[in-house]
Chain A
Amino acid sequence: MTKDSSVVIAGVADLVGKAAANQSPDALMVRVATRALEDAGIDLKDVDGVFCASPHDNMPTLRAASVLGIAPRYFDGTSIGGASYESFVTHAALALQAGACDVALILYSSAQRSARGKFSTRSAPPVAEAVSGMLYPVSSFAMMASRYMETYGSGPDDLAAVAVSAREWARHHPAATSRDPLSIEDVLSSRMVSEPLRKLDCCLVTDGAGAVVMTRADRAQDLPRRPVKVLGGAEGHTHRFISDMPDLLTTAASTTVPDALRAAKIGLEEIDVFQVYDAFTIDVLLILEDMGLCSRGEAGAFVKSGATSPGGAAPLNTNGGGLSYAHPGMNGIFLLIEAVRQLRQDSPGLVVEGAETALVHGLGGPLSSGSTVVLGVEDVS
């Protein structure tokens, strides 16, 4: 997608944790869609594009539009795991630019925690992985982590630092699921799940719903919120399961981040805030290196230096991410919502003052897919 500042995110909303507990995914979706449309100042009847993935229904856009009582003329149910939501922004931007729709509503809802995993996505791994005793998906990420640590001489504290950085942000966010202080020692003393990954290296399992409203800038001129421009996007996938992963230490971010920045016509050094999908701590280390924010093997030291923490040079996962804020199955939409709130400077948690550009990177599967979106509030080219 090439840069076209005429497409904007006009409204966002999310409901996580207790605010989302013990409600059906449909009811959650209605609540969050209503709030996002109110935030955008746009009526539900004007929504003519629906973008949705779901752990509950394999015809997600049919379900969402039917629940909302609308009959969209454009829809996309791309299902590449958590990265689907960053791809929806790119796909919606293309559809809006082409005139295929005028108002795009991107939706996610999951009652994953209340349903005690009953609705978790069913994707059978290859037989060899299943019979080996690997836990899906954590053991796939554990294998990447083992290779990362032995290749670069990193320690478990390098992984743990990612969880600690996330918690430092979450501590200040009123809606974050986990807000207690967290030390590297706390992470290293949590239960081993799949060596070397411990419980606190793994994302939360929560309920939650999110919605994002997009439209063209001409329409957004008289809307209540400061519109956030979609500056560029890029997506890719390389495998389904780790058995077919080309290189355990390289993810799709190695191409999607440079491609998205090129489309946005800005440099990595111009990004003020980062939202990177943190299903497991190792993801953040690999993706920081893939995007070029640090050299190979140095992401652990980078995170330990405080660069990604509050006050650091590369504020990352500023609501606490999937590790501390919420992780209702597919976290991609929550990364977008937090990026928008940072750029509007209205996050209920810590606000990175003066942030004008954000890079959002989603992942799906065992680092199978990657999708990057660059957002901004000023003309930065």
Chain B
Amino acid sequence: MNIGQLISDLFPDERLPYEWAAQGQLMVKVCSDCGSYLPPHRLICTGCHSAELTPTNASGRGKIHAHTAVRADRHSPELTRIAMIELEEGPRVIGRLIGTEAKPSIGDAVVATFEAVADDLAVPVFTIRSNETS
């Protein structure tokens, strides 16, 4: 899978979080009516059903809510570790965990970083913040 191409082919509204990521920003949305923070793909507030959502920059800090690992490819023992992250603002997002071979635990503190996949596009990924489990 060519991730850069996949994201380039998206509609502009779907591509926006990856353009923010290319600027080093983890995009989430905030509800103009009730103030809830939402994952970047959300279009209606899950708290109050308002459609008035504004993109905003999250801190990038969060903790692991759930995780899994799959073979990076069929012929390699290398694992791709993937986690659902609960950001400190509240929303849950999914991304690859990098820089760790060890199996993580739920509650481990993580921080977002960004991997460029095209000139103006990047993907948020997460690293474990050592000594900071909650």
Contacts and interface: CB of A to CB of B under 8 A. Distances in A.
Contacts of A144: 66
Contact of B66 (A128, A132, A248): A248
B82 A139 contact: yes
Contacts of B105: 150
Contact of B84 (A127, A150, A242): A242
B39 A243 contact: yes
A284 to B, nearest CB: 18
A140 to B, nearest CB: 9
B29 interface: no
A188 interface: no
B70 A150 contact: no
Given A146-B106, A150-B105, A133 B70 contact: yes
Given A147-B106, A195-B103, A129 B65 contact: no
B41 A243 contact: yes
B68 interface: yes
Interface in A235-274: 242-244, 248
A349 B39 CA distance: 48
A131 B66 contact: no
Interface string A131-146: 1111100010011101
A325 to B, nearest CB: 27
A197 B71 CA distance: 12
Interface string A100-125: 00000000000000000000000000
Contacts of A126: 41
A233 to B, nearest CB: 28
A27 interface: no
Contacts of A193: 70
Interface string B67-97: 1111110000001101010000000111110
B106 A134 contact: no
- DSSP class of A's interface residues: helix, strand, loop or mixed? helix
A194 B95 contact: no
Contacts of B103: 195
B102 interface: no
A135 B92 CA distance: 19
A151 interface: yes
Contacts of A248: 65-66, 84
A134 B67 contact: no
Contact of A127 (B10, B67, B80): B10
Nearest to A148: B66
Contact of A195 (B14, B68, B92): B68
B113 to A, nearest CB: 14
A133 B92 contact: no
Contact of A129 (B71, B94, B117): B94
B7 interface: yes
A19 interface: no
Interface of A: 126-135, 139, 142-144, 146-147, 150-151, 192-197, 242-244, 248
Given A129-B94, A192-B69, A194-B68, 9 more contacts: A128-B41, A135-B70, A147-B66, A151-B106, A195-B68, A196-B68, A242-B94, A244-B42, A248-B66
Interface of B: 1, 3, 6-7, 10, 14, 17-18, 39-42, 65-72, 79-80, 82, 84, 92-96, 103, 105-106, 117, 123
7 contacts: A127-B10, A128-B41, A128-B93, A131-B6, A151-B106, A196-B68, A248-B66
